[in-house]
């Protein structure tokens, strides 16, 4: 049978419909589509796709199960490596990881590994009774700080080995960036809640509204009898540009904007959480978070949404799929542009004018690409005298985040780098402090869900080895 050169299309909502609702954009494969896509897999003996997966999912093995219609068997295989398959199938950048290594991708489009993982997870979740064999307790306790992808993965892997794991979450709901950062239309919160409930069934305890570093310190957790601590507190401290006008009303960090909408449900009618429903919005940045903010602004009713990015479309760091979805929905890209000032409304004749102090426009300067920087990306060079204004009433800054310094400032002997990231041994996730491990965005700064999961998995293995040695 001849190989189909392209992936089977993912069914999606139409752009016209989805741009004004918060329902999931991608609708998922049917059983027929999943089997057909699985048939494209060459089942390579050297398994290069597994090499590209940060958590080492046995990809050819689970796809082989799909080929014969054994979807439950496929889920069992995935779950040996991943605690969050329904999440990963939706938000992982497969195109730069497992699918990038796919042998079929040398000549044709790679196998839709992420789409197949999502299908299997959704199929299982729709049919699972939630009953499974619990591991025998081993008598050891571990504390996990943060319930994002790295923390949940670490907690899940340790719980499956019999550890008594307690996860401490600063917010009122578990999930970390999965619930406050990623919009409902990309990752329904019911999916995250389901994954969290599965971990609870393994015996993982989750304590919300606990700010480690304030409510309790890492040192105090160790004093309370936890034999190991994993820090997966994420990177929730937003960065700003330092330009004039960033303090005007109508300027948000992407972190605040998305948290209000996603976690606090500001998009719902009658929500108590305030959010600005702007007519014209500028989003500064070009990553996945910028795409999320831009597409969210559309769904809140914006008539015009601009993404302002200082490099070209070729350098845009966001997933190609997210960029394409944004373009289809009507987001306009102001490429090779850099904001130099946010301009506010000011009526000198009426100091009580309610518009005073609000954003009216963003001034940008045109750029061209110069020599590559230390990471190999061409550096933007501003073109003198090319400034112009874009009329907007809201500006969302999405140029990255860094770890909150609270844990660093309250934990003696914890080494951090100049950007505030916790310094760890790459192979183990071990920090400079005994019995304390770290991973995810708290170490790297803002990165992908799957890389955070990989770090949590690495640390769980190292914590198990550490406690096992001290126990003998």
Whether the per-residue pLDDT at 375 is higher than 90: the answer is no
- pLDDT for residue 133: 75
Question: CATH for 15-127, among 3.40.50.970, 1.20.120.1730, 1.10.1060.10, 3.40.50.360?
Answer: 1.10.1060.10
Cα torsion 203, 206, 212, 215 to 10°: value is -120
Interaxial angle between packed helices 59-67 and 31-38, expressed in degrees from 0 to 180 and rounded to the nearest 10: 120
Write down the H helix ranges in 300-437.
Answer: 320-329, 406-410
Residues 419-428 have pLDDT tens digits of 899 999 999 9
Rg of the chain in Å (alpha carbons): 23
Whether the per-residue pLDDT at 13 is higher than 80: the answer is yes
Contact between 207 and 224 under an 8 Å Cβ cutoff? The reply is no
Q: Which residues contact 435 (CB under 8 A, 6 or more apart)?
A: 222, 227, 228, 229, 466
Mean pLDDT of 237-258: 96
CA distance 301 to 110: 37
- pLDDT for residue 472: 62
Half-sphere exposure of 13 (CA within 13 A, CB side): 17
Q: Into which CATH architecture does domain 240-399 fall? A: 3-Layer(bba) Sandwich (3.50)
- pLDDT for residue 378: 87
Please state, for a pLDDT cut of 70, what percent of the chain lies above it. Answer: 99
What's the residue count for the chain?
A: 472
User: 240-399: same fold as 15-127?
Assistant: no
What are the residue ranges spanned by the domains of the chain? 15-127, 141-236+402-471, 240-399
Residues 52-107 have pLDDT tens digits of 999 999 999 999 999 999 999 999 999 999 989 999 999 999 999 999 999 999 99
List C-alpha distances in Å: 137 to 251, 334, 467: 50, 56, 14
Among 57, 64, 112, 101, CA closest to 79 = 57
Strand pairing partners for 436? 229
Q: What angle is formed at CA 296 by the lines to CA 292 and CA 300, rounded to 5 degrees? A: 175
Contact between 83 and 195 under an 8 Å Cβ cutoff? The reply is yes
Residues 302-323 have pLDDT tens digits of 999 999 999 999 999 999 999 9
Mean pLDDT of 289-301: 97
Q: Into which CATH architecture does domain 141-236+402-471 fall? A: 3-Layer(bba) Sandwich (3.50)
Whether the per-residue pLDDT at 447 is higher than 90: the answer is no
Whether the per-residue pLDDT at 347 is higher than 70: the answer is yes
CA distance 233 to 216: 14
Mean pLDDT of 162-182: 96
- pLDDT for residue 8: 97
Kindly tell me the burial class for residue 327, based on how many C-beta atoms sit within 10 Å of its own C-beta (0-12, 13-18, 19 or more): middle
Instruction: With 0.85 as the threshold, say if the pTM is over it.
Output: yes
């Amino acid at each position: 049978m001849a190989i189909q050169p392209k992936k089977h299309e993912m069914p999606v909502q139409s752009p016209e419909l989805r741009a004004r609702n918060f329902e999931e954009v991608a609708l998922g494969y049917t059983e027929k589509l999943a089997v057909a896509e699985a048939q494209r897999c060459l089942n390579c003996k050297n398994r290069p796709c597994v090499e590209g997966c940060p958590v080492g999912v046995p990809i050819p093995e689970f796809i082989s199960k799909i080929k014969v219609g054994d979807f439950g068997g496929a889920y069992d295989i995935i779950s040996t490596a991943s605690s969050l398959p329904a999440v990963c199938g939706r938000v992982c950048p497969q195109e730069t990881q497992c699918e990038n290594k796919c042998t079929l991708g040398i000549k044709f489009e790679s196998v839709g590994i992420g789409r197949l993982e999502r299908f299997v997870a959704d199929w299982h979740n729709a049919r699972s009774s939630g009953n499974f064999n619990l591991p025998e307790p081993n008598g050891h306790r571990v504390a996990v700080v943060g319930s994002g992808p790295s923390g949940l993965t670490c907690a899940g892997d340790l719980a499956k080995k019999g550890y008594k794991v307690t996860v401490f979450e600063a917010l009122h709901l578990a999930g970390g960036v999965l619930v406050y950062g990623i919009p409902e239309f990309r990752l329904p919160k019911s999916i995250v809640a389901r994954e969290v409930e599965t971990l609870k069934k393994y015996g993982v305890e989750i304590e919300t509204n606990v700010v480690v570093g304030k409510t309790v310190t890492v040192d105090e957790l160790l004093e309370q009898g936890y034999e190991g601590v994993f820090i997966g507190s994420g990177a929730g401290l937003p960065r700003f540009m330092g330009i004039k006008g960033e303090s005007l009303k109508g300027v948000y960090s992407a972190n605040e904007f998305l948290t209000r909408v996603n976690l606090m449900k500001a998009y719902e009618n009658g929500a108590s959480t305030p959010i600005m429903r702007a007519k014209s919005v500028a989003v500064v940045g070009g990553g996945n978070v910028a795409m999320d903010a831009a597409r969210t602004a559309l769904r809140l009713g914006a008539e015009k949404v601009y993404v302002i990015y200082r490099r070209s479309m070729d350098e845009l760091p966001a997933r190609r799929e997210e960029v394409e979805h944004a373009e289809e929905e009507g987001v306009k890209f102001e490429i090779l542009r850099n904001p130099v000032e946010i301009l506010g409304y000011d009526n000198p004749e009426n100091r009580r004018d309610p518009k005073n102090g609000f954003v009216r426009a963003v001034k940008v300067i045109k750029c061209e690409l110069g020599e590559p920087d230390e990471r190999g990306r061409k550096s933007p060079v501003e073109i003198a005298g090319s400034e112009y204004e874009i009329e907007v009433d809201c500006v969302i800054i999405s140029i990255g985040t860094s770890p909150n310094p609270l844990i660093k400032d309250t934990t003696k002997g914890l080494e951090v780098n100049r950007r505030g990231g916790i310094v760890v041994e790459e192979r183990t996730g071990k920090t400079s402090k005994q019995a304390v491990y770290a991973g995810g965005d708290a170490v790297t700064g803002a990165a992908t869900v799957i890389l955070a999961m990989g770090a949590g998995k690495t640390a769980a293995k190292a914590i198990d080895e550490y406690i096992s040695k001290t126990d003998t």
